[in-house]
């Protein structure tokens, strides 16, 4: 997965940021599972060959549909010439079905790419921060930024050493550090603790963050207080995926995660009265 498709070639503007054409596709595309890798006890990586090119931007997502089972949003963990990678964490009905029953050779369907991804840049000093399956969009983003000659530092947070994955992949493209809450591997503490330590010593042109929303908002606040630009990927319950049903709305701004996000400018998130209200984790816990 090291080649970049021609659609993702950088188009530099004056400020050094890169505007990619927005790719949005809402009909189903057939895919066949090419390989599966167990990354942790609850996370697997799926490589799927699609019957056509889709050229997603990093941070965009797809709706993966398993007929008679369900459809779930997943971030692109990588993409190259018709082959896509997803990192899937087993949390509930559909993801458990996928882990148990989707094998090499299984056929699946996807709609996408959907939503708005990260702003790409070249020759910049970038910080990537992630945890859990938030590493998925971050890896695809990092690979493209590295190809654009950005200088990358990556901070990955895990609960304990059995949750650690993708460290060698990130290390190939960036200066990578990990934290575990029990200190079994890397820095002892949360990724937010590690971020505070790094920000006391360094500044970055842009900080990209993906993961649990409480962590994400803390990082956005810390970085914004130091005047750094941030972009964060939000999660809500996504049903239609194209801005119609309202299930993923972020109030009071009337934003829809599936259409206006999932990636948002940190300055916008700071304007929300309660950015965590109605998020997926909160709804899942309530129900």
Ligand X SMILES: Cc1cc2nc3c(=O)[nH]c(=O)nc-3n(C[C@H](O)[C@H](O)[C@H](O)COP(=O)(O)OP(=O)(O)OC[C@H]3O[C@@H](n4cnc5c(N)ncnc54)[C@H](O)[C@@H]3O)c2cc1C
Burial of 202 (0-12, 13-18, 19+ CB in 10 A): exposed
Residue with smaller CB distance to ligand X, 94 or 198: 94
User: Which residues would be at the binding site for ligand X (CB under 6 A)?
Assistant: 61, 70, 72-75, 86-89, 91-95, 133, 136, 235-236, 238, 262, 280-281, 284
| Nearest residue to 140 via CA among 70, 62, 195, 36 | 62
User: DSSP class of residue 4?
Assistant: -
What is the number of residues in the chain?
287
CA atoms within a 13 Å half-sphere pointing along the CA-CB vector of 260: 16
- CA angle at residue 49 from 26 to 59, to 5 degrees? 50
Q: Of ligand FES, ligand X, none, which one does residue 241 interact with (CB within 5 to 8 Å by kind)?
A: ligand FES
Q: Which residue is nearest to ligand X (CB)?
A: 92
Where are the strands (E) in the chain, listed by range?
17-18, 28-40, 43-50, 61-66, 70-75, 78-80, 83-89, 107-114, 120-121, 125-131, 151-158, 175-180, 187-188, 206-210, 229-233, 249-250, 255-256, 263-265
Q: Of ligand X, ligand FES, none, which one does residue 136 interact with (CB within 5 to 8 Å by kind)?
A: ligand X
Q: Of ligand FES, ligand X, none, which one does residue 61 interact with (CB within 5 to 8 Å by kind)?
A: ligand X
Least distance (Å) from ligand FES to the CB of residue 247? 5
C-alpha span between 170 and 259 (Å, rounded): 28
- Residue 173 dihedral angles phi and psi, to the nearest 5°: -115, -10
C-alpha span between 113 and 130 (Å, rounded): 21
Is the distance from CB of 189 to CB of 218 less than 8 angstroms? no
Q: Of ligand FES, ligand X, none, which one does residue 284 interact with (CB within 5 to 8 Å by kind)?
A: ligand X
Residue with smaller CB distance to ligand X, 88 or 173: 88
Residue 217 φ/ψ region, left for φ over 0, alpha for ψ in the -120 to 50 degree band, beta for the rest: alpha
Beta bridge partners of 180: 158, 188
C-alpha span between 240 and 246 (Å, rounded): 9
User: Which residues would be at the binding site for ligand FES (CB under 6 A)?
Assistant: 238-241, 243-248, 256, 258
Residue with smaller CB distance to ligand FES, 191 or 238: 238
Q: Of ligand FES, ligand X, none, which one does residue 36 interact with (CB within 5 to 8 Å by kind)?
A: none
């Amino acid at each position: 997965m090291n080649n970049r498709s021609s659609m993702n070639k950088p188009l530099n503007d004056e400020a050094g940021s890169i505007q990619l054409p927005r790719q949005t596709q809402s009909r189903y595309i057939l895919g066949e599972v090419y390989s599966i890798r167990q990354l942790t006890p609850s996370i697997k990586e799926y490589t799927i060959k699609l019957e056509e090119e889709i050229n997603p931007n990093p941070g965009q997502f797809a709706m993966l549909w398993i007929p008679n089972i369900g459809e779930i949003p997943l971030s692109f963990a990588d993409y190259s010439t018709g082959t896509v990678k997803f990192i899937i964490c087993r949390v509930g009905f559909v993801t458990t079905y996928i882990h148990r029953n989707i094998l090499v050779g299984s056929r699946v369907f996807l709609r996408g790419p959907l939503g708005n991804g990260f702003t790409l840049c070249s020759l910049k000093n970038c910080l990537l921060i992630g945890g859990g399956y938030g590493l998925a969009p971050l890896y695809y983003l990092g690979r493209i930024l590295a190809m654009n000659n950005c200088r990358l530092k990556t901070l990955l947070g895990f609960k304990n050493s059995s949750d650690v994955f993708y460290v060698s992949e990130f290390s190939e493209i960036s200066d990578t550090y990990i934290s575990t809450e029990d200190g079994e591997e890397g820095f002892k503490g949360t990724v937010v603790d590690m971020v505070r330590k790094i920000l006391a010593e360094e500044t970055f042109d842009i900080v990209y963050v993906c993961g649990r929303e409480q962590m994400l908002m803390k990082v956005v606040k810390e970085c914004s207080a130091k005047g750094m630009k941030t972009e964060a990927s939000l999660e809500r319950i996504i049903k239609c995926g194209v801005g119609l049903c309202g299930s993923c709305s972020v109030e009071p701004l009337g934003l829809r995660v599936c259409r206006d996000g999932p990636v948002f400018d940190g300055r916008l998130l700071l304007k929300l009265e309660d950015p965590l209200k109605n998020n997926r984790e909160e709804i899942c816990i309530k129900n």
